[in-house]
Amino acid sequence: MARAPRYGLDDQDIDLTPVIAPDLLDLRVSIASIVHWADSHSVRLALMDAVDFPVNDVPMFLVVNQLSYRGAMRPSDLALALGTGRANLTKIAHRLDDAGLIVRVREPSDERSVLLALTPRGREIGQRIMEYNQQGLESLLADWSDEDVRTLKRLLARIARNAMWDLQAPRGHAEPGRRRRP
């Protein structure tokens, strides 16, 4: 049975192609492809297995991963980085604490604030994550020249630095590519 048209459109009126052409020379497509790959559930599960993550819990893994890259963090900042709510992060943190992977500590500069930090066991897992990721990158770039790898590192660092500056700009004040950078 045919469905009534929604929004005044029939199926043949709907464009099924991507909004942007799948051209890997377009930086938007290339960066989105890398992010989607790294953010995929299957890649995360494979990484968890490869580093022998002790619990089959992706949100717990993501917290350990973030703390491995960033160091101890306030729960509110960690929730923001992971795109989750504070209440959900609190539940995840309790599970990680019970597993012996993180601990809550007072922030040295503000005794009223708490930081989530990796325990020695959590740091061991974080180290395995870093080693696995390094091996993966080396494998991806194995046939690249040293000069190409240095150029990639320099340019990616520049993109990352600019993205972080834009991220730290007050809301509504930074237009992409127009923020004055130090």
Whether residue 14 is contained in a domain is answered as no
Rounded Cα–Cα distance for residues 6 and 13 (Å): 11
Tell me the pairing of strands 110-118 and 102-107: antiparallel
The reply to whether 42 falls in a domain is no
Q: Give the model confidence (pLDDT) of 22-74 as tens digits.
A: 887 888 899 899 889 888 999 999 999 999 999 999 999 999 999 999 999 99
Give the chain's domain count: 2
What pLDDT was estimated at residue 63?
97
In a shared domain, residues 90 and 120 = yes
State yes or no: pLDDT of 89 exceeds 70: yes
The pLDDT value given to residue 111: 83
Residues 55 and 129 in one domain: yes
Q: How much is the pTM? A: 0.80
117, part of any domain: yes
Q: Which domain holds residue 151?
A: 144-182
Which residue, among 53, 102, 98, 33, has the nearest Cα to 74 in the 3D structure?
Answer: 102
Is the model more confident about 2 or about 120?
A: 120
Q: What was the pLDDT predicted at 16?
A: 82
Check whether residue 103 and residue 79 sit in a common domain.
Answer: yes
If asked whether residues 92 and 159 sit together in one domain, one would say no
User: Does residue 139 belong to any structural domain of this protein?
Assistant: no
| Distance, CA of 45 to CA of 38 (rounded, Å) | 11
Once rounded to an integer, what is the mean pLDDT over residues 84-93? 96
Same structural domain, 166 and 126? no
Same domain assignment for residues 83 and 106: yes
pLDDT score of 23: 83
**Averaged over 109-122, what is the pLDDT?**
93
Condensed to tens digits (0 to 9), the pLDDT of residues 116-175 reads 999 999 999 999 999 999 999 999 999 999 999 999 999 999 999 998 887 776 655 555
